[in-house]
Amino acid sequence: MLLVSNQLGPRPADATMERVAALTRHLWQGEARTRGGNHHIYDEQIPMVATTLQQLQKHGSAGSAFWRFGRKRHQSLLDAVGNPRREAAEERAYAEDEARAKAYRAEQQRREEQLAAEREARRPVCARCGEKFTDARWKGAAEYPPGPRWFPTLCQKCQALAIQAAEAEEAEQERQEHQEGRGGWLSRFRS
């Protein structure tokens, strides 16, 4: 609502507007907010804007000739009717939220990278060839203790070689035992 007064007679226009403002406070007064910077919100309130012919002559209709009830300074008509402080505050609050979310994401990523690096540093290497374990090999080696055909300190390739060697040794042992057995039988036969 725009009120224009003309300063005539004994009562100054500013004092008249102050009085109108005081009487209509319940219609225009906003609620103070601080998030993003001090501002007011005016949901369902009526923007009461006052000027005088003298102000309009001095500043022009596009200038800071308008006083919105409850505000300290004169503004352009658009700023007086609108709520630039609220818009700025909301933009700042939004930017703060964005910055916080971005910092959080960066921190998460840093932590994940650190955990991955720490895990990589713990990855076992093959006791024979020094090659790094694959994830599957690492998991298996951690879960199962050494067994007859299971060498958890070796990589898959070296384990295959170790099993081959163990089998060859067993075969050799069997052959020798067989021979000794025959030898024993022969020697018994001979005696």
Residue whose CB is less far from Zn ion, 89 or 141? 141
CA angle in degrees (0–180, nearest 5) for 9-10-11:
100
Q: Does 17 bind Zn ion (CB under 5 A)?
A: no
Site for Zn ion in 109-148 (CB under 5 A): 126, 128-129
Partner residues linked to 75 by β-bridges: 66
The minimum distance between CB 169 and Zn ion, in angstroms, equals 19
Count H helices and E strands in the chain, helices first: 7, 5
Residue 4 main-chain phi, psi, to 5 deg:
-120, 125
3-state secondary structure at position 33: strand
Residue whose CB is less far from Zn ion, 9 or 130? 130
Alpha-carbon gap, residue 1 to 50, rounded angstroms: 8
Q: Does 155 bind Zn ion (CB under 5 A)?
A: yes
The minimum distance between CB 154 and Zn ion, in angstroms, equals 5
Q: Does 80 bind Zn ion (CB under 5 A)?
A: no
The minimum distance between CB 129 and Zn ion, in angstroms, equals 3
Residues forming contacts to Zn ion in the complex (CB under 5 A) are 126, 128-129, 155, 158
